Amino acid sequence: MNVVSPELLAQFDVPGPRYTSYPTADRFVEAFTVDDYELALKQRRNGGAAMALPLSIYVHIPFCESLCYYCACNKIITKHHERSAPYLRYLSREIDLHTAQLGGGQVVSQLHLGGGTPTFLNDAELRELMVMLRRSFSLAPGGEYSIEIDPRTVNASRLATLAELGFNRLSFGVQDFDPAVQKAVHRVQPAEQVFALVEAARQQGFESVNVDLIYGLPQQTPESFDRTLAQVVELRPDRIALYAYAHLPERFKPQRRIVTADLPAGAAKVEMLSRSISAFLDAGYVYVGMDHFALPNDALAVAKRQGRLHRNFQGYSTQPDCDLIALGVSAIGRIGATYSQNAKTLNEYYDHLDQGRLPIVRGLALNRDDLVRRAVIMALMCQGELQFEPIELAFLLDFRRYFAAELEALRALEEQGLVVFGDAGLQVTARGWFFVRAVAMVFDRYLQADRNRARYSRII
């Protein structure tokens, strides 16, 4: 593959947002309170057209039996499975507080269980959770209902239960098949186990199986990762998410257990990414965007071809842009022109609900400029194309005047063959699609203002 050179990958190996939202979550403020969130819920209920749009729901299950040293997620390490029962009771309270504001029976077209480890819950508890959700919401036929899987916590029987409960998409956390790497990050799971589970998932009729990979982990080399790539190609999941490991031990305590000297150098990481892109494209995968690949007949690849790709806090989606109800500790949601986040610790989360209040602790009400730039950035991230006129008509502005500085800054990317300008807009090229975050960053007013990018993962 020669569309992307290692030199170009190295040039754009810089920190930057993933743009699951704009503005990004690090811009949330505590001045946004539960009262603001409830007002947004009320406006949705009284909003007529907004009420007709289906909801998306994210449920965060924070518990994990074992600590993975690379992890930067909000999680609670425990082998005490009895802790999940009270957590479910509090989730039920949070759901009831939402239906009190929105009314029951709201249509849901997308549900995602993340963590932590959602399969920390036993079968009875997963069943209880789905009963709670179905009691308050109406899960639409044909929706996307997905759950993150730690292969060490499930077997074929558990996958059958998930299918029975209505889940139609699975995401397996693999990261790397190499035993030395697995040992270095404290996540040992034999490849044979993953292969058997993926085969069982296919037999159960799951519509899509995703595999998560991470490059840049300790003990990895381009050659060792080549072996993992070959195994993944043989496994042939419907989707692949390929993430760069961001080593930020000052922010994420578990990462302090990783020996910095064992991490691959920057050049080796770039080589791993370059070889990964080649391996997946050669195997027939479609590059959906950023760090996602999909088989040509997968719904995500089809949505990209048809210009129906969307993006939310869970990443790329085929579901239309919609409000997102976030349930559980630290979960992030979106209602109308607002973003919100729940309390990040279990005690604080429980305390809010004990007081009969939704556990919102921070968020953001978007202003007009935020909305304009969100529309621009999401068009770039999802369609790889930006037409000026729709933005001008939606927001009553002169695009070329409003974004004069940004358009001038894009000329440097044009010279590198990442974007092309036309009379009516601009297009991200096939080469530029691999660096779409860098294109979107040009329009990020907050990022351009403070230049403090160290808080973000690297865009390559």
Question: Residues marked as binding for S-adenosyl-L-methionine?
Answer: 58, 70-72, 115-117, 148, 175, 187, 212, 246, 332
Asked if 19 and 437 touch (Cβ cutoff 8 Å), the reply is: yes
- The residue written with tokens 């403090």 in the block is 452
At 172, give phi and psi (nearest 5°). Answer: -95, 130
Cα separation, 237 vs 111, in Å, equals 20
DSSP label at residue 31: T
Tell me the pairing of strands 419-421 and 425-428. antiparallel
Q: Which segments are annotated as binding site for [4Fe-4S] cluster?
A: 64, 68, 71
Residue pair 360/37 in contact (Cβ under 8 Å)? The answer is yes
Q: Cβ(30)–Cβ(361) under 8 Å? A: yes
- Residues in the annotated binding site: 58, 64, 68, 70-72, 115-117, 148, 175, 187, 212, 246, 332
Give residue 96's identity as a one-letter amino acid code: D
Neighbouring CB atoms inside 10 A of 35's CB total 11
Cα-atom radius of gyration of the chain, to the nearest Å?
22
d(CA 83, CA 281): 44
Query: DSSP letter string over 222-268?
Result: HHHHHHHHHHHHHH--SEEEEEE----TTT-GGGGGS-GGGSPPHHH
**Neighbour-count burial of 26, counting CB atoms closer than 10 A to its CB (0-12 exposed, 13-18 middle, 19+ buried):** exposed
